[in-house]
Amino acid sequence: MFIVYIIYSESSDRYYVGYCTDIERRIDKHNAGSTPSTKPYRPWILVYFEEYNSKKEAIKREKQIKKQKSKKYIERLIQKVG
């Protein structure tokens, strides 16, 4: 199972979109500072995720979300599940 996820940094009011196979481990890595692009904005919390059967599908969806380049788009996704 592959997971497309969105995490949020309250301290910097920013979102990060990624994909992985183990969401708990991945968020732990973000919060431990193991990911250079997210390290300065810790702590991160999981606010949204979608599950996919293939890596190809997950990457396609991750790119689709990132291509929007829109905080409003991400916030609408989150509100749909909230």
Please give the residue range of the domain that contains residue 40.
Answer: 2-81
User: What average pLDDT does the structure give for the chain?
Assistant: 96
H or E stretch covering 54: none
pLDDT of residue 82: 62
Q: What is the CATH number of the domain that holds 64?
A: 3.40.1440.10
The model's pTM is: 0.94
| pLDDT, tens digit, 9 for 90 and up, residues 48-67 | 999 999 999 999 999 999 99
The whole-number average pLDDT for the span 20-37 is: 97
User: How many C-beta atoms surround the C-beta of residue 36 within 10 A?
Assistant: 7
Total structural domains in the chain?
A: 1
- Strands (DSSP E) along 14-54, which ranges? 14-20, 45-52
Q: What percentage of residues in the chain have a pLDDT greater than 90? A: 95
Residue 17 tokens, joined: 């979109």
